Amino acid sequence: MPTKWLIRNCGVREHHTHRWRALPFLLVGPFLSLFNQFVVNVAADPIGHDLTASAPQLEAIVGGYGLVYALGLVTGGRLGDAYGRKRMYRVGLLMFTVASALCGLALSPMELVVARLGQGAAAAVLLPQVLALIKVQFPDQERVRALAAFGVSIGVGQIAGQVLGGAIPYWNVFGLAWRPIFYLNVPVCLVAWVCCGWWVQESRSSGRRRIDLPGSLLSVAGVGLVLVPLMGAHRTPWWPTGIASVAAGALLLAGFLSRQRRLSRDVDGQPLVPTWLFRTRGFTVGVLLNAALYSAIIPFSFVLGIYLQRHLGESELAAGLTFTPTGIGFIVAAQIGPRLYARADMGAVVLGAALTAAALALVLSIMLAGGSTMTWPLLGALLVFGFGIGTTLPLVTGTVLRYLPTEQSGAGSGVLTAAQQMSGAVGVALCGAVLFTGAELGPGASPTPYVLAFAAQLLMATLTVACAAWLRHITRYQPP
């Protein structure tokens, strides 16, 4: 790490008296970011039917949000470093308010696609600021609790999205069908915007305010060219279109990494991703751990939701309610996890990852045995899954942030959340490619596509356990 660069950008950390009062309103960002990613998974069928959306349009409604979200996270973190994390968080809340209102008002598939892309961009501005503000404004002895609350907000957003994505269209409140899933965001964002203005302390990196615009364009174009063929793998010919797109994206990403390496060596350089962050083995392994975890848990609910509705013939409401044990397990584990972490440190993360992998293995075996929904084995597996991710999610983020210098909390948080979301987007895309390859998915059809998708998730969950054990070894012998 260049010493002059570090001195120039080092900020002063102040722990003001309103930090705990402000925290619930900061957590609105991660909650809504995940809620709006998952709520559409279950509500996709009623949305598509109401708007008469084609299959590509419906995929854009579901997947476009996550794609823009993942592409913008690193730049979103840098914007907070440069222009103020509180300011950019509040800007993101206003963006999310407008985009959500437009989603609810959409009268055509393309209007909803554009509004969902706006939601993704707003989420990319919101989320990195939350992690950075928590790291900067909470002292070390309080930060574990604050980051645990951050992890809980993510998990609750994911689970609430699954349940309400089926329940809200089913209830058809005021005859609005699916539209309230977006209207609910508007008052929540406005209240958070006002309260953050009162109680959140501003924070930014010192030094000149400059964003690496060429680097941003290279990263967005590169990742986009790699991910788009994966998201449309079941309808895009891989030769030559898909291969050419991935190759072009890889070249642009190589150019992006070369530029970031050069700027990181320059005392006056301001890279989007300081490459010297990855010289710390704990940070690198932690990012890999998060990527593996999200590539397992985000596709899980997507694939299981489709399995319940299409293979077992359940309604949207029944499919959503099936995830209730996951929510119960998550809430219980989230209360126990911080105390377990205080006593066992990384051992708690290893335990949570192992439980997550065990739950995926149990669901896979139930599927192979032809099990159905609302049976004790499946509900028990979902309870274990909730307990596993409820133990792991609130802890892994803080584990990685331990290795970040304060002045780079925005950029580092952007790298971490980008790795999480891109891994989840790739996982969903690959599982979708496995499911939608022309195979029959209706009741009585072969469960093979679902089995293959869950087997891939189990493999990534096993990799998560390995990374957690590796990081435990690093932390034990080389504490940050």
Maximum mean pLDDT: which of 146-155, 210-219, 464-473? 464-473
Q: Answer whether residue 7 is part of any domain.
A: no
| Separation CA 129–CA 278 (nearest Å) | 21
Q: Answer whether residue 307 is part of any domain.
A: yes
User: Considering only 62-71, 132-141, 280-289, 394-403, which range has the smallest mean pLDDT?
Assistant: 394-403
| Separation CA 183–CA 39 (nearest Å) | 13
241 versus 26: the higher-pLDDT residue is 26
In this prediction, residue 57 has a pLDDT band, given cuts at 50, 70 and 90, of confident
Q: Which domain holds residue 41?
A: 18-200+272-477
- Same domain, residue pair 260 and 320: no
Burial of 101 (0-12, 13-18, 19+ CB in 10 A): middle
User: Tell me, what's the pLDDT at 400?
Assistant: 77
| Separation CA 425–CA 453 (nearest Å) | 14
User: Tell me, what's the pLDDT at 55?
Assistant: 66
pLDDT at residue 209 is higher than 70 = no
| Separation CA 354–CA 264 (nearest Å) | 37
Mean pLDDT across 10-33: 78
In this prediction, residue 6 has a pLDDT band, given cuts at 50, 70 and 90, of very low
- Same domain, residue pair 226 and 367: no
Mean pLDDT across 148-177: 85
User: Tell me, what's the pLDDT at 354?
Assistant: 96
pLDDT at residue 233 is higher than 80 = no
Mean pLDDT across 413-427: 79
**At which of 240, 271, 302 does a domain end?**
271
pLDDT at residue 15 is higher than 60 = no
User: Tell me, what's the pLDDT at 12?
Assistant: 39
* Per-residue tokens: 380: 């028990």
pLDDT tens digit sequence for 83-106: 899 999 999 999 999 999 999 999
Q: Answer whether residue 153 is part of any domain.
A: yes
- Same domain, residue pair 236 and 357: no
Mean pLDDT across 171-192: 94
**At which of 271, 286, 303 does a domain end?**
271
Number of folded domains in the chain? 2
User: Tell me, what's the pLDDT at 255?
Assistant: 93
Q: How much is the pTM? A: 0.81
User: Tell me, what's the pLDDT at 293?
Assistant: 93
Q: Answer whether residue 411 is part of any domain.
A: yes
Torsion of CA 325, 330, 331, 332, to 10 degrees: 90
The secondary structure of residue 309, as a DSSP letter, is I
CATH classification at residue 432: 1.20.1250.20
For the chain, percent of residues with pLDDT exceeding 90: 29
